Structure 1
Amino acid sequence: VMSCCGLLTAEKEPVPLKSIEVELEVRDHVATLVSTLLYENKEDKPIEAVFVFPLPGDAAVCHFSAVIGQTQIVAEVKEKQQAREEYDDALSSGQQAFLLEESDQSPDIFSLSVGSLPPGESASIRLEYVTELAVQADDGLRFCLPAVLNPRYQPQGSEGASVQVTSVPASLVPYSLSFSARVSCPRPISKVESSSSLDPLQYLNAEKTQATVKLAAGHKFDRDVELLIYYTDAHQPTAVVEAGQASAKPGTLMGDQMLMLSLYPEFPPAVMSSVTSCGEIIFLLDRSGSMDFHTSGSNPSLSFIPFSKDTLLLLLKSLPMGCYFNIYSFGSTYEHVFPKSVEYSEKMMEEALKKVEEMTANLGGTEILEPLEHIYSQPCIPNQPRQLFVFTDGEVENTKEVINLVKKNSGSHRCFSFGIGEGASTALINGLAKEGGGHAQFITGADRMQPKVMQSLRFALQPAVQDVSVTWDLPKGVSVTVLSPPLTALFQGQRSLIYAQISGQSSEAVEGCVTVKYSLAGHHSQNQLCFSLKPAEDTGLTVHRLGAQTLIRSLEMEEREHRGQQDGGLKEKVVELSVQSGVSSSFTAFIAVNKSDGKEIQGPLVRINIPASSEYFSKGYLKTLQINIKKTIRNHSSKMMYSDCFIFAILFSETCLPEQPLRDPLLQLVSLQKASGCWLLDAALAAALGKTSEEVEKPKPEVWATILALIWLHGFKTDAKEEWELLAMKAVSWIHAQHGNNNLHSPPGLPHKPRLHPTTFNMHFTCCLMYL
């Protein structure tokens, strides 16, 4: 049964989508993607094909057209209900029509309806969008082409039909993908990497500022296509000024110049070398059935849950003494380890770890809204800034509602989000971090979760930036309107983007300046960037579209906050801006109708839902996805028939997971560390270090055991330093504190009262190596 699912319709008709061709152009940290989808109807009757697919959640869809035979039809952006009615009217009149619309629940899911394809006819659909590229922990810029659309879970009691998703195992998706990219930047391109196989990078000039790359032949569209692009000096602040659209009226968004600022604040080294010892750290872990998927990385026998539990172990061991913490987990219901956050101690840490060890993916669906509401209902602890860590594969349907809740509570916390596995909702993961003033990370393919999570923990333990302000210095006659939401969160090494509309002209000065001021741990700092007001060449309207999309998303969220109140003009503003800029929104859609030949398509239409690639469950876990599909069969001889039906899709694998492999030696050592930062000298530590009990028996057991553990980390796990650096700092602080205790003396070879700052601790290791 599984081998047929999605490949054929219920009437055994073949799927009409044949291929997808993708061309990507990356300029510095902005990407433009053009995707061409080829459809062919080999049936003896006309068809209506519906294809539901994912896009990056922050993408601005800005062009949609179709080519049928020799005729090209360019779609227009119109109010969504109007576009739907025009589409239905066109099909009822026997005309070909195409409708592209964003999901009402999530901005990273689009549906494309291809209507009235005659027998034997082909249609080539062209879709274009622009998007920003996120900066990763290693300074790489990440582009992701979502290939996997996991079924979105609809919360219990929610109204309306869920998004129509026909999902099949990725290996059975019948359409192919070709993918090529062109990269250009003012700075040299050092490398381009991918989790998929790539042909060698081809440089186009001697300066290595332009290059091309493409997927290797034989690529299967069975996972997200991820590119990591590395530039020299990737963190340099930049400014791009783009000329307005020639046909647009000056003073409008598209008629004026558009500015995009990329800022990287540099914090004082003295502040960055310290970490706060306070804070309320709350972990929220997805335990829905989909978290029992097999990973597609280097350990395919493991599901997401064991990786998440190992990561929680590392996080709990790395927390500083003096903070507060709690762990929530959710599915159709939610659980918490403690009724409210507790002070971090050895007893509380061990109790939490026992609960973590018992966790499985057994909580059903993915209802994240309720546990978030409970967390926000808990009063904040005085002088303990709240930091929320969310781990999920992102299979929620009420994305916009969840993000709106986080925004409402953004003044009381920072939110760090982690998208786990192929198909995680970019709209959800990026939206949680953006509105929660935190940082988003994606763990796919062979990625290790721990390094990315520990980077976010270091961000969370940084002193919070306060009193952020942005001021402008522009020539007389020139004004600026900022389109981006106010800056509230700044992190060392994290980029902040600001879009602004520049109105007016100056006959004298051709340069402007922007200054970002903020307070950090009592230090008042500022960063200034000067930029030319002369428009950059050959940028098209990319910056305008990204600026328009930024403003559209802000207005959409404001509209949801005021829905049901008196202010009903926000929706109209979004529609007007969307139509003016040609950028999609939740209230508009792209509509194209072929009126060229005037011929009516004869016969009833058969609706076909084209399958998207999906992952499926292991370990015998059964998950039922209920999809409410309205199947419409239109008879153009004045007969209209509608039928409602429910289809239940059960995806499962009958094979259980094999036995878990031996635990990672690093995690084995980490699991033995105490909350204070020390290790105990016992048989378990000896085993973790690969020694016998006799080899490690020395005076002053706790101090010596801790030094042994630190030496092992620095000697054998330098490649994973970002994972254990925080807990090593805690261990060094513990050692330093012991020298104030008369019952403990320094181990032989160690100075009497060493200044064991983590950056200088390596100097003392040579004094201890003789004891190994």
Structure 2
Amino acid sequence: MYGEKEHCGLKSVIKGEWRNILIPVPLKSIKISCQLINYVAEVTVEQEYQNVEEGPIECEYMFPIEEESAVISFTAQLEGKTLESKVKPNKEAEADYDKAVSEGRTGFLAQSVRPDILKIKVGHLSPGAKCSIKLTYILEAALDVDKIRLTIPTTISPKYIPFHDNSEEANKIKSIKYDFNTPAPMTFSIGAKMKSKIESVTSPSHSIQTEGLSKDVVNEQGFFTSKTSLSASTTDLDRDIIILVKCEAANASVVLREDDADSTVLMVSLVPKLTLKSDPELDIVFLIDCSGSMMGSSIKLARDAINILLHSLPHTAYFNIVRFGSSYKKLFDSSVPYSDETLATAKKAMKKLEADLGGTEILSPLKMLLEEKTKLPRRVFVLTDGSVSNSMECLKLAQKHNNNSKVFALGIGSAADRHLVKGLARAGLGTSEFTTEGEMIAPKVIKQLKHCLQPNLKDVTINWGNDVDINNSSQAPSKIPSLYNGSRVQIFRIVNNKGTTIPATIKISADVVAEGEEGFDEEVSVDESGLQGTLLHKMFARKLIQELEEKEEMADEKEVKELITELAMKYQLMSKHTSIVAVDDKENKNSQPMQSRSIANQMPSGFHGFQQQQQHSRGGAPRMMMCAAPMAFGAAPMGAMGFFSMKSSMKKRAQPQFDNSSVEYEQCAAPMMRMRTQCDSYKQSVVDCCDDEDLEDCESEESMEDSSPMDTVLALIALQTAAGYFTKDKKIFSALNIQEEAIEKLVEETKADSKIVYTVLVCVALEKKFSDFKSCWELVVEKAEAYLNKNSASVELKDKIAALFN
């Protein structure tokens, strides 16, 4: 008699009435291969299954994909025979699958749980049988400063499920099982094809090796190419695969053209270059996730991001900080003017920032901020790992209020929820970025702050040519997204090519709301090579489906469902309302009843503070540093993990705190706490340091000579006042390795104000010694130079200080 299942490594532990039975996990391997062509990627995931049990089994496995991707093909092979797969409405596909399984035939079903989670079911796999599933999806690659950034999710972060969320989607997410071990070894490779020379291929997530970078020749299609794979043969599934491709024209706008028999799709991939210098008055609020899932490296990344943002705010801004978890807490009752006093209060609060507020209840604070009456336009920065089930509620809320407020989102951690982060920015007309441990966070947050400060563009239009109009074409998304300097936007237009002239160039233009600012105009040539097939056609359809799914208010839900189904069937895409099914026509004769086997996802690296040890010899494959037996977690119990509170104490080692009134405490929190206290990685994460009230004195006494360049830059930035100037501080001398006497002598000789001298000193030092980190200090120096110009700093003073660094 079988009961509840748990997972341990590559064995399932079936709890029986008389004894526990070890069952091998049927998922044997995962192979991910990718082709990156300019800014479009095609990803193929191949899963190998084998039943080594005595009776037939049904396997169920939920795994992640990029949230904007389109599943374009599904192939199932059973014992060497390829089965035909079809896209059908959900109920039809489920009926076909259930009928096959009930008749003893093997069936395959692929469904969308939500835009970033897929469910694969293999039904009635007979004893000893092997099968493979090959699933292919396409997606747009992002722009990361000057690189193309491709992210391949490999595990689903456990989601916090709010008490009010009783949706079908939440119930499916709740059923996902978790393990600290990988369900199967993974291999990965990627081939890049670029129109401009590939300078480097790197990864902050995995150890990789690349071939072909030294070649200056192009292939027969005119592409520069490279091939990349893991440094070792396999890796685990505990973090997103992140690939950064640097090429000469990563920031260039392009228009790709694809033709089929009846239509042409034009994809405008636009990277606006805007020169906007206004100093707007804005109300900027930082909404920081302090739930339990942020514990460890994620909360440190959030703390670093806020400190950089605080010092880069313009003096005209109002700001506030709101922490959220099971509840939310404001730093100030309402947004306050940016001053030395309010900045000091915020910095002091950030030193104590911990992941100690319970579950991830993001909807309430987001609603409060977006509905709150403000004197100035509001900008909301969300910093989160996004481990929630109710992403769509949050998206619709941001969309509802995007006339008055904009939302910018930073996804943090090894498996941040890309649907929530990207969706919030998309709905809130802002931008999104992602960062993980090992990446420089400063360039990302400064880029977003620049976007936040950018004046609104209005009347954005695309001239698709004289012959293209609403009668012979349609656009996705129907409304052109907000344009931000250096941020890539992709718009698709499908045109009936019979009797319609396709233009040679596409013109984009926009006006600026702020007075005295120039508008935006760009003309981009259509790529003459022309693609053949349906790749861009399918991406157009997926973009249109996404827009329909995220409509704020559906006047006729039935009509929208029919439109989505019609698009998905026409272009053979999986969607919210369509599935992919394949069934075998051969009956498997076995008298034993079929047993269900749910395959666990691997717990993401760093989740709830659990750090993992990089094994670079295994291609970056992480191994959990565990001293206790692994546990299985459903999505809902993980929310209870948020009751942990980590507070540093100067006199003694920190002791995690939790609310043991939770009904889930016994089943989740207490066992996890015992596990934590036994782990070396956890013990080492808690250090003795100074009392909170003495923190400033402790830090000022530390020598900065051994600091990394990035640490030095951040330490210098932290010394700037809200007005933009710097004052004498011994940290400056330590950081720059310069004698105090030399600067004081300069103050005396020039008879300049001490504040001006030290402001010039820091600005010149940043520009000369730390030019590689310009993206970190750029806004700080701009604010300082505005102060120097206002106070008429002399060129002679700047020259004398510059001479100190020659």
Query: Per the shorter chain, which TM-score range?
Result: 0.7 to 0.9
Distance 1:7 1:334, change over 3 A: farther
Correspondence for 2:409 among 406, 417, 420: 417
1:671 partnered with 2:718:
yes
Q: Which runs of 5+ in 2 are unaligned?
A: 15-20, 612-625, 638-663, 690-701
Q: Does the 8 Å contact 1:7/1:173 carry over to 2?
A: no
Q: Which residue of 1 aligns with 2:121?
A: 113
Q: Which residue of 2 aligns with 1:453?
A: 445
Q: Which residue of 2 aligns with 1:52?
A: 62
1:128 partnered with 2:136:
yes
Is 60-69 or 454-463 further displaced after alignment?
A: 454-463
CA distance in 1, matches of 2:240, 2:534: 27
1:735 partnered with 2:788:
yes
Correspondence for 1:749 among 777, 791, 796: 796
1:705 partnered with 2:758:
yes
Shift of 1:600: 4.5
CA distance in 2, matches of 1:646, 1:61: 40
Q: Which residue of 2 aligns with 1:182?
A: 191
Q: Which residue of 2 aligns with 1:146?
A: 153
2:790 is paired with a residue whose SS is helix
Q: Which residue of 2 aligns with 1:638?
A: none
Correspondence for 2:536 among 543, 558, 576: 543
Q: Does the 8 Å contact 2:288/2:324 carry over to 1?
A: yes
Cα deviation, 1:93-141, whole Å, max 9, x if unaligned, reads: 22211111111xx311111111111111111011010101011112x11
Shift of 1:231: 2.4
Amino acid at match of 2:372: Q
1:232 partnered with 2:248:
yes
Q: What pairs with 1:709-720 in structure 2 (closer than 5 Å)?
A: 709-720=762-773
Q: Which residue of 1 aligns with 2:347?
A: 353
Q: Does the 8 Å contact 2:290/2:299 carry over to 1?
A: yes
CA distance in 2, matches of 1:290, 1:549: 31
Distance 1:6 1:567, change over 3 A: same
Is 26-35 or 700-709 further displaced after alignment?
A: 700-709
Cα deviation, 1:552-589, whole Å, max 9, x if unaligned, reads: 1111122x622xx6552111111121112111111221
1:463 is paired with a residue whose SS is coil
1:198 partnered with 2:208:
yes
Shift of 1:284: 1.0
CA distance in 2, matches of 1:485, 1:185: 29
Q: Which runs of 5+ in 1 are unaligned?
A: 247-254, 294-302, 630-644, 740-745, 751-763
Amino acid at match of 2:459: D
CA distance in 1, matches of 2:635, 2:350: 33
1:328 partnered with 2:322:
yes
Cα deviation, 1:151-198, whole Å, max 9, x if unaligned, reads: 1111122114241322222xx214112222222233332222223222
Quote the RMSD (CA, aligned, Å). 3.1
Q: What pairs with 1:761-772 in structure 2 (closer than 5 Å)?
A: 764-767=798-801, 769-770=803-804
CA distance in 1, matches of 2:665, 2:544: 38
Amino acid at match of 1:581: Y
Q: Which residue of 2 aligns with 1:498?
A: 491
Q: Which residue of 2 aligns with 1:220?
A: 235
- Normalised to the residue count of structure 2, the TM-score between the two structures is 0.81
Correspondence for 1:659 among 684, 687, 705: 687
Q: Does the 8 Å contact 2:56/2:593 carry over to 1?
A: yes
Shift of 1:391: 0.8
Shift of 1:275: 4.3
Q: Which residue of 2 aligns with 1:338?
A: 332
Cα deviation, 1:447-494, whole Å, max 9, x if unaligned, reads: 021221111112222222122122332448993211223124112222
2:553 is paired with a residue whose SS is helix
Distance 1:402 1:590, change over 3 A: same
Shift of 1:626: 4.6
CA distance in 2, matches of 1:241, 1:601: 53
Q: Which residue of 2 aligns with 1:618?
A: 609
CA distance in 2, matches of 1:628, 1:41: 30
Q: Which residue of 2 aligns with 1:758?
A: none
Q: Which residue of 1 aligns with 2:660?
A: none
Shift of 1:393: 1.0
1:4 partnered with 2:14:
no
Cα deviation, 1:727-746, whole Å, max 9, x if unaligned, reads: 1111121122224xxxxxx5
Q: Does the 8 Å contact 1:416/1:439 carry over to 2?
A: yes
CA distance in 2, matches of 1:411, 1:403: 14
Distance 1:561 1:7, change over 3 A: farther
Q: What pairs with 1:356-367 in structure 2 (closer than 5 Å)?
A: 356-367=350-361
1:241 partnered with 2:257:
yes
Q: Which residue of 2 aligns with 1:379?
A: 373
1:606 partnered with 2:629:
no
CA distance in 2, matches of 1:130, 1:351: 47
CA distance in 1, matches of 2:431, 2:636: 35
Q: What pairs with 1:434-583 in structure 2 (closer than 5 Å)?
A: 434-475=426-467, 479-506=472-499, 511-520=503-512, 521=514, 522-531=517-526, 536-537=530-531, 539-558=532-551, 561-562=553-554, 566-583=556-573
Correspondence for 1:428 among 420, 423, 447: 420
Amino acid at match of 1:167: Y
Cα deviation, 1:688-742, whole Å, max 9, x if unaligned, reads: 5455665544443222222232233234322222111111111121122224xxx
Shift of 1:547: 0.4
Q: Which residue of 2 aligns with 1:757?
A: none
Count of residue pairs brought into register by the alignment: 702
Q: What pairs with 1:183-332 in structure 2 (closer than 5 Å)?
A: 183-195=192-204, 196-202=206-212, 206-207=217-218, 209-221=224-236, 222-244=238-260, 255-267=262-274, 271-272=275-276, 274-293=277-296, 303-332=297-326
1:584 partnered with 2:599:
no
Shift of 1:60: 0.4
Q: Does the 8 Å contact 1:388/1:416 carry over to 2?
A: yes
Amino acid at match of 2:489: S
Cα deviation, 1:252-306, whole Å, max 9, x if unaligned, reads: xxx5222212223343xxx44x24242221111111111113xxxxxxxxx2222
Cα deviation, 1:503-554, whole Å, max 9, x if unaligned, reads: 14238x553543222112442442233537x8824x4311011000011111
CA distance in 2, matches of 1:317, 1:524: 29
| Greater per-residue helix proportion | 2
CA distance in 1, matches of 2:269, 2:795: 52
Distance 1:470 1:46, change over 3 A: same
1:726 is paired with a residue whose SS is helix
Q: Does the 8 Å contact 2:510/2:519 carry over to 1?
A: yes
CA distance in 2, matches of 1:696, 1:524: 44
CA distance in 2, matches of 1:289, 1:515: 48
1:550 is paired with a residue whose SS is helix
Is 704-713 or 59-68 further displaced after alignment?
A: 704-713
1:609 is paired with a residue whose SS is strand
Amino acid at match of 1:102: S
1:85 partnered with 2:95:
yes
Q: Does the 8 Å contact 2:323/2:330 carry over to 1?
A: yes
1:727 is paired with a residue whose SS is helix
CA distance in 2, matches of 1:123, 1:646: 41
2:550 is paired with a residue whose SS is helix
Cα deviation, 1:631-679, whole Å, max 9, x if unaligned, reads: xxxxxxxxxxxxxx99956655223314389783332222222111112
CA distance in 1, matches of 2:556, 2:804: 77
